[in-house]
Structure formats: structure tokens, C-alpha cells
């Protein structure tokens, strides 16, 4: 029903606007007594065989929501009742910022993809913390952190430290985002030297905390083999807790959408089905080099249980979805978890 009736209606409205409309309706529905329990009963799959312990955290199932969907930690409770094993909020920055000019998100239905150039639009870490203070135990939340647009790369480390320290008591793990293509020069921080500086500084901050929380790195799908080797070396040298592969791509190869439309849309990160194979290649390459020493969360082009299984078989311990969730609807999480159970893939 979602793909035949609901999605065509939703796709009549601009992507960013319909996102706010749908999430507002979900939040309203969730405030009605009995609805949260009903949603959980419809969408959640509770089976011990789905549970995973990864970088010291016990996940109820391996299917998470990628960062970008709930930037300001507004809807994590509602989204959790749709069956996700974990929710990643953000990307959060020290200060709120509007992001790039609208329109900044575009659908590519012929390719089952999205192009976005949101630009880390968020209200700032302090606003997110106010909402996270009200979360109930049980839902695993990751915090994806970045730098403000006006902050130079030379000063970026301070932004990451500020957000890390403020958010520390309110999330279960952290993701360092230096791979978004939508903040000018951000990807330059993926180079080995500046990236090592950021990771090691955050790890030093963590030594002063009473509770150890994992630090992960999210990488781009556009890295060369040499750059991936640098990530492998950095992960082992710093003791990084995990990797997320991958973010959106700047590539526009092999798209069915007319070239004129792609040129009209312009810059931005491409997600969805077009990045599926490259994401899996990166996961497989990293796992070949790292084995189980540095766990991998796979994200990129997951629409079905088969897509998720492909990532898990390539070496990922967990998966995340975003674009597939928009195209396939909320029942997708249940279908993926049931597919994993059917194939008997263990963590």
C-alpha cells in the first residue's frame, strides 16, 4: 500500500517539506494513547537471534537509521517504535546553522536515489541535548558530529571537541563526520594527518570520562584504494572503535535520470541505489584488511533484505538505512529483520 498509494502522494510534495509534514504527523499520532504500543506491535521484530553486541553495545537488531533523518533529535522515540535497532542523530554542530540555500534535496525516482546538499542544517548541539534528556532507557542513539560551516579546517578540531563533550552523556556512541560533500572543504579533513589529529584528540577527551563510549568514523565512497589504506592504518594506530561505510557520493555515473536534470540539480551528495555497489565494495575491502578488529556499519543503497544481507556478508556487523526508508516505507525495517532471521545471519 505504501509504494502503490502513499508514496505517489508524498512524492507530489518537495522532499524537505514532505519530511517535516510526515514526521509532524507521526509525532502527533504518537501522542495518542495506545498508538506507540500499536506501532511497536506492527513494526518491531523481537527475536534473540537478531541481537548483536558490537563495540561493547548490545543492539536489539542490526538495522539502524542513518544520520541526517533526525538531525535535531526530534523524532527518535517515534522512529524507534518503527522497529529500528538504533537511531543516529545529527549531524550536530556546536552552533545552530541554517544549512545551504533551498531547494537542497532532490529525488531521482528513475534511479531510486536522492541528491542532497543540506549542509549540516541543525539547531546546534544544545537544543538536541534538551530533547535527549527526555529519552527513556532502551533505545540506542548515536551522535553524528561535524564542524560549523564558518569554522575553518584549521579550527575544526575545536568544533568536534565542543560537540563531543557536550553530547557525551546523552548518546551511546559517536560518529566523526568528515565525509559529507556539502560543507566546503570538509572532505579535506579525511586526509591522514588532520583526521588523526581529530580522532586522537577526541580519544584523549574520552579518557577523562567515567564511561567509555565508542568513537566511529564515517567515510566517503569516493576514496581511492590508497586513501582506504590510510583509513585502515589510522584505525589500527588510533584504536578507532568502528567505521561507517559509506556516506553519499559525488559521482554521477550510470544514472538513468536524464543528464539535463542532473545538471539542473547541481552539486550534492547522491544516496540510494546508485551507491549500493560501491558501498559494498568499500565494506568488503575494509573487512579484508581489518577483519573483526574494527567493526563496520554499512550504509548505502539498502532497500531490501537482500541488500542488507549483501552488506553483512561483505563483513559489516550492522547496517543503516536512509534513502531506502523513504522509497520503501516503514515496513522495510521489519522485512529486513525477517530476511536476516530467515538466512540465519548471526552477529
Active-site residues: which are they? 180
* Grid cell of 13 as nine digits: 510534495
Task: Tell me if residue 52 falls in helix, strand or coil.
Answer: strand
Reply yes or no: is the peptide bond before residue 87 cis, omega within 30 of 0: no
| Helices and strands (H and E) in the chain: how many | 13, 13
51 close to 61: Cβ distance less than 8 angstroms:
yes
Query: Nearest 5 degrees, angle CA 316-CA 176-CA 104?
Result: 95
What is the distance between the alpha carbons of residues 112 and 92, in angstroms, rounded to a whole number?
27
234 close to 196: Cβ distance less than 8 angstroms:
yes
Phi, psi of 304 (to 5 degrees): -130, 170
Going from the C-alpha of 149 to that of each of 155, 273, 293, the distances in angstroms are 11, 29, 34
Counting Cβ atoms within 10 Å, is residue 155 exposed (0-12), middle (13-18) or buried (19+)?
Answer: exposed
The number of residues making up the chain comes to 347
Residue 43 CB coordination number (10 Å):
17
What is the distance between the alpha carbons of residues 169 and 324, in angstroms, rounded to a whole number?
31
What is the distance between the alpha carbons of residues 328 and 319, in angstroms, rounded to a whole number?
16
Question: Which element (helix H / strand E) includes 216?
Answer: strand 215-219
Amino acid at each position: 500500500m505504501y509504494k502503490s498509494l502513499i508514496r505517489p502522494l508524498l512524492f507530489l510534495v518537495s522532499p524537505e517539506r514532505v519530511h517535516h509534514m510526515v514526521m509532524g504527523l507521526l509525532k502527533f499520532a504518537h501522542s495518542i494513547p495506545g498508538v506507540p504500543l500499536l506501532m511497536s506491535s506492527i513494526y518491531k521484530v523481537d527475536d534473540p537471534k537478531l541481537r548483536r553486541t558490537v563495540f561493547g553495545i548490545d543492539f536489539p537488531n542490526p538495522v539502524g537509521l542513518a544520520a541526517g533523518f533526525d538531525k535535531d533529535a526530534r523524532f527518535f522515540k517515534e522512529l524507534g517504535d518503527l522497529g529500528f535497532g538504533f537511531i543516529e542523530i545529527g549531524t550536530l554542530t556546536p552552533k545552530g546553522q541554517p544549512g545551504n540555500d533551498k531547494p537542497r534535496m532532490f529525488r531521482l525516482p528513475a534511479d531510486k536515489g536522492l541528491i542532497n546538499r543540506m549542509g549540516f542544517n541543525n539547531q546546534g548541539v544544545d537544543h538536541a541535548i534538551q530533547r535527549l534528556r527526555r529519552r527513556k532507557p532502551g533505545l540506542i542513539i548515536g551522535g553524528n558530529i561535524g564542524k560549523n560551516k564558518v569554522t575553518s579546517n584549521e579550527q575544526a578540531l575545536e568544533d568536534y571537541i565542543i560537540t563531543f563533550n557536550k553530547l557525551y552523556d546523552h548518546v551511546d556512541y559517536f560518529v566523526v563526520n568528515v565525509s559529507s560533500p556539502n560543507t566546503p572543504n570538509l572532505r579535506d579533513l579525511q586526509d591522514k594527518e588532520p583526521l588523526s589529529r581529530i580522532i586522537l584528540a577526541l580519544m584523549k577527551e574520552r579518557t577523562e570520562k567515567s564511561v567509555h563510549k565508542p568513537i566511529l568514523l564515517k567515510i566517503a565512497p569516493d576514496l581511492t584504494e590508497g586513501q582506504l589504506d590510510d583509513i585502515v592504518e589510522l584505525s589500527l594506530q588510533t584504536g578507532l572503535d568502528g567505521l561507517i561505510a559509506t556516506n553519499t557520493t559525488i559521482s554521477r555515473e550510470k544514472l538513468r535520470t536524464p543528464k539535463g536534470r542532473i545538471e539542473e540539480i547541481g552539486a550534492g551528495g547522491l544516496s540510494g541505489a546508485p551507491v549500493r555497489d560501491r558501498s559494498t565494495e568499500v565494506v568488503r575491502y575494509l573487512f579484508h584488511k581489518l577483519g573483526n578488529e574494527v567493526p563496520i556499519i554499512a550504509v548505502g543503497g539498502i532497500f531490501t533484505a537482500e541488500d542488507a544481507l549483501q552488506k553483512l556478508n561483505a563483513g559489516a556487523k550492522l547496517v543503516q538505512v536512509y534513502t531506502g526508508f523513504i522509497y520503501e516505507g516503514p515496513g522495510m525495517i521489519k522485512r529486513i529483520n525477517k530476511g536476516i532471521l530467515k538466512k540465519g545471519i548471526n552477529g
